[in-house]
Every structure is written in structure tokens, then in C-alpha cells.
A = this chain, B = another copy of it.
Amino acid sequence: MTDFEPRDPDFERKVRDSFARQRVMSTLGATLTRVAPGLVEITLPHRVDLTQQHGYLHAGIAGTIADSAGGYAGFSLMPPGSTVLSVEYRVHLLAPARGERFVARGRVVKPGRTLTVCELEVEAIEGERRTRCVIGTQTLICLPEAADRPAG
């Protein structure tokens, strides 16, 4: 499916567990719809209570699912016992985020022991029509020997 060999054979369960702990994802109604080594998709149905002033999905919410998709794409390739943080991300807003649902895709471009670079995109889907409304890139850092859960 992808060109990468995960260093953690249990990568899918690890990603799904961590996603389930991202409380904001269930608040938004986003679900994890694909987990492959170095490639993750998150799907968000349209909701009027997530819109900006023109009635489209707020760019920041599109950025939120893109950031998580990229973060988990990177996390899927990291070794057991580590966690991931976004260092920075940037998004271009190519078209209004108008659709029935949105699919955010994060794809690792360059995995690394410390830093990983991902490409991000969000597609808006309306019936048969798919419009790429966001593209972006992201830098992640792998924190070895750090728990992927609250410190408490």
C-alpha cells in the first residue's frame, strides 16, 4: 500500500489507541478511516456547527484533521515506546471547504529518527465530486521513551 516498513509491528493498534485518546476528534465527529504505514486518513462529516461565516467548514478545523492525519502517518512509522508531536504545519486553502464530508490525508514524505516530514491534504466530497480544498506540509518530532498519553 505504501513504501514504508513500520518499525512497530503493532503500528495500527498504536495509532487507533492514540486517536481514541484525542478527545477533540470525537467532539468534532471525526473518525479514523485508513491506517497504513506512513499514510493515515481521517473523515469528518459536514456539521453546520463547525462552519465559518460563509457557511463552509472553518479552515482551522480542516487544518485540525489534516494535522492529526499527518501526525498519525508519522507515528505509524515510529518505534514502540515513543510518542509524536507536531513541530509546525502549514496549510494552503485552495477552495472553500464545502461538501457532505471531508477526508484529510497525511502521508510521510521523509521519515527520520528525530524528525519526520509529511504532506497533508483535505478533500471535500459532495456526491461524486471530490475537490482538494487544502494542501499542506508538516514537521513532526519523535520523542523516544515518552508515553503517548497524559502524564497524570
Contacts and interface: CB of A to CB of B under 8 A. Distances in A.
A interface: dominant SS = mixed
Contacts of A52: 21-24, 68
A88 B83 contact: no
B137 A90 contact: yes
A141 B114 contact: yes
Interface in A37-71: 48-55, 58-61, 63-68
A94 B109 contact: yes
Nearest to A133: B110
Contacts of A24: 49-52, 58, 60-61
Quickly give the copy total for this chain.
4
Nearest to A84: B53
Contacts of A132: 110
A16 B32 CA distance: 35
A93 B88 contact: yes
A129 to B, nearest CB: 16
A152 B110 CA distance: 26
Contact of A137 (B21, B51, B115, B137): B137
Given A22-B53, A60-B68, 9 more contacts: A23-B48, A24-B49, A24-B50, A24-B58, A60-B66, A63-B67, A88-B91, A88-B92, A90-B137
